Amino acid sequence: MHTDWTDELMQDHARIERALIMIERQIERKDGYDAATVSALLEFLFEYGERYHNQKEEQFLFPLLGERGIPTHGGPIAVMLSEHEMEKNYLIRLIRETQQIKEKETAITEDYRNALVSYISLTKDHIWKENDILYPMGRRVLQKQDNSHLLASFENLLSTMPYQGKGFVERWETLLHTIEQSTGGPIDLLKTLDTNTLRAMLDVLPIELTFVDANDVVRYFNKVNDKKIFPRTLSVVGRSVQQCHPPHSVHIVNRILNEMKSGKRDAAHFWIPFGENREMFLYISYYAVRDEHGNYLGCVEMNQDVAPYRALQGESRTLNDLV
């Protein structure tokens, strides 16, 4: 159950984006286009995206934004409504043509492929505009009671969907998950990064990270060649994490790891003054790492000196304020 209207709408967007990515995979396949898979995804985009998500906005969000001062006959709302109509028209056409391809087992035409690509581009751009422009505008003008009103309205709309709302979202989530698993799994953005880029990205962060696997063995730490709060050398890799902690704290480490393995705990946090003159204030966190099924993969330890942040005052909104 969502507690914020933007969270609910952006989760809808995340599901829609997953479907778009899976259609792109079909377009790019070298071993043949699966019309049945694309047909199912287009049905989701119409039933969930158009009849459910877009109606949340058109029936409830946009009119309320209008009441709070954002013009509905011009500006971003007018653009969003126009793009909703364009998306719907694309979907009606693509659903019809995909069904014909499936029934006749014909190859896709260049015109059909271009229509799919254009629809995907339009919808991705539309989602970005709403997430990054319209929703932040809405948050600035809507009042506190508007949030609960919108969530209740979304819930009422859900009750009118097939299955009287019960199982509607679950049905489409199951479809997306099933197709993802049969077509390469969820999108993995890490595949777009080489090891050097990933290493540099992790090393530049103002935190010290250590990963311990499911067998309590140290497998990774960042900033290998940098001075660290807690000095580590490559000799710790392959050793049990218990060997890397003072004897008086091993029982705490074991408790954290055992509770993470059992599912009782997902995180643990500590903060202590540190340094010869207690000039640092360390925030030490442990996070359970799990796969999509909840299986325990290991634990990430994160250490950071937060003393500089505790000293901040006021606000910094311009580049000239940066230090």
Same domain, 115 and 263: no
> Are both 211 and 158 inside the same structural domain?
no
Between CA 243 and CA 241 the distance in angstroms is 5
Is 145 inside any structural domain? yes
Q: Are residues 126 and 15 in the same domain?
A: yes
Whether residue 213 is found in the same domain as residue 294 = yes
| CA 161/CA 69 separation, integer angstroms | 31
37, 177: one domain:
yes
Average pLDDT over residues 229-240: 87
Residues 102, 177, single domain; the answer is yes
- Checking if the pLDDT of 185 tops 80, the result is no
In a shared domain, residues 265 and 134: no
Among 162, 187, 212, residue at a domain's last position: 187
The mean pLDDT value of the chain amounts to 91
pTM: 0.75
* Type and span of the H or E element at 266: none
Task: Give the model's pLDDT for residue 322.
Answer: 52
Domains in the chain, number: 2
Last residue of a domain, one of 171, 187, 203: 187
Which one of 155, 187, 219 terminates a domain? 187
Average pLDDT over residues 59-85: 94
78 and 213 belong to one structural domain: no
Within this chain, do residues 167 and 41 fall inside the same structural domain, yes or no? yes
Confidence of residue 234 (pLDDT cuts 50, 70, 90): confident
Same domain, 136 and 251: no
Q: What is the pLDDT of residue 293?
A: 87
Which residues are within 8 A (CB) of 216 and not within 5 positions of it... i.e. 6 or more apart? 240, 241, 242, 257
- Give the CATH number, domain containing residue 221: 3.30.450.20
Instruction: Tell me, yes or no, whether 28 and 124 share the same domain.
Output: yes
| Residue numbers of the domain that contains 106 | 5-187
Is residue 180 a part of any domain in this protein?
yes
- Statement: residue 323 has pLDDT above 70: no
20 and 75, same domain (yes or no): yes
C-alpha span between 263 and 270 (Å, rounded): 20
The length of the chain in residues reads: 323
pLDDT in tens, 262-320: 999 999 999 999 988 889 999 999 999 999 889 999 999 999 999 999 988 888 877 66
Place 63 in a pLDDT band, splitting at 50, 70 and 90.
very high
